[in-house]
A = this chain, B = another copy of it.
Amino acid sequence: MDRIPILRMGDCLLITIQVDLDDRIALQLQDDLANKIADTHARGVLIDISALEVVDSFIGRTLATIAAMARILAAQTVLVGMQPAVAITLVELGVSLTGIHTALDVEKGMAFLRRTIPDRGTTVPDAHAKE
């Protein structure tokens, strides 16, 4: 796999990480995302890492860098679906993920983005569950 696809949904970008990130793919994602935010004027970035089972300090820092970069480009980042073991590892590694909001699943993450992104007459995907 060359790169992780970035899907545009309304004002948000959705990234699903399905493979254990190696350094090259992580850096590629960082570049791609910065360009995509600039191109699409996205206001929110949702990163699903539910399939990620292993994380090291480099990946943790890369996620933090991605969020910081998105913030400078005026987009809010939400990290969803983190497995408990990954959370434990990140804390033990001392990676604090400053500036990244987290949510348990994609729906909760989207709901968070809809609440926090200022209304500019644009649309953030409505991901309210039916219940």
B residues near A125, Cβ cutoff 8 Å: 9, 110, 125-127
- A81 CB to closest chain B CB, in angstroms? 8
Taken residue by residue from 12 to 56, chain A's Cβ proximity to chain B (1 for < 8 Å, 0 otherwise) reads as: 001010110000000000000000000000000000101100000
Contact between B1 and A19, CB atoms less than 8 A apart: yes
B residues near A115, Cβ cutoff 8 Å: none
B residues near A110, Cβ cutoff 8 Å: 9, 125
Which bucket holds chain A's interface residue count?
Answer: 20 to 34
Contact between B18 and A129, CB atoms less than 8 A apart: no
Contact between A130 and B126, CB atoms less than 8 A apart: no
In the complex formed, the residue of B with least CB distance to A40 is: B129
Contact between B126 and A123, CB atoms less than 8 A apart: yes
A7 part of interface (Cβ distance < 8 Å): yes
- Please tell me which one of the listed residues B1, B120, B127, B130 contacts residue A121 in the complex, with CB atoms under 8 A apart: B130
B residues near A16, Cβ cutoff 8 Å: 5, 7, 16, 18
* Bound complex: CA A8 to CA B125 (Å): 13
* Bound complex: CA A41 to CA B9 (Å): 22
